[in-house]
Amino acid sequence: MNIEPELCQVDDALDIIVGKWKPIILLHLMKNGTMRFNELKRSIPKITQKMLTKHLRELEEEDIIQRVVFPQVPPKVEYSITEYGRSLEKILVEMHEWGTRHRLHKMEKVEKR
C-alpha cells in the first residue's frame, strides 16, 4: 500500500460507478454492445424511467457511455460504452469476483454458529 490517504482518489472512481443501478446498466452495455433505452429498461425490470435516464445522463457526462439520437418518429436513442469507458471493465470484473467470494465468506461465518 503506497497510496497517501490524503491524496486518495478512490472516491473519484466511486463517484462514477456508485448509484443504485449503475453497475448493472454498465454490465448490460458491456455485454450487449449497443442498446436502446427501452431495451435497457426491459432488461432491468425494477428500474424506473427516471432513474434510468438520470444514471445514463451521468455516465454520459463522464464519457463512460455514448448517447446517439436518431431524429425520427417514433424516437430512437442508442447507448453504448465508449472506448474510454471500457477502462472500467477490469475494475467491475474484480469487484464482482470479490463480491462473489465475500458472499461465500459470510455464509461460512453464519454456518459456524
Partner DNA sequence: CGGCATCCCTTTTGATACTG
Partner DNA sequence: CAGTATCAAAAGGGATGCCG
Binding site for DNA (CB under 7 A): 19-21, 36-39, 46-51, 53, 56-57, 67, 74-77
Helix (H) or strand (E) run with residue 78 in it: strand 76-81
Backbone angles phi, psi at 62, to 5 degrees: -95, 10
Q: How far is CA 100 from CA 32, 50, 107, in A?
A: 22, 29, 11
Cβ-based nearer residue to DNA, 5 or 90? 5
The option from its own copies, DNA, none interacting with 75 (CB < 5 to 8 A, set by class) reads DNA
Asked if the peptide bond before residue 45 counts as cis, ω within 30 degrees of 0, the response is no
> Closest approach of Cβ 77 to its own copies, in Å?
20
Residues that bind its own copies (CB under 8 A): 1, 3-5, 8-14, 16-18, 23-24, 27-28, 30-31, 43-44, 62-63, 84, 87-96, 98-103, 105-106, 109
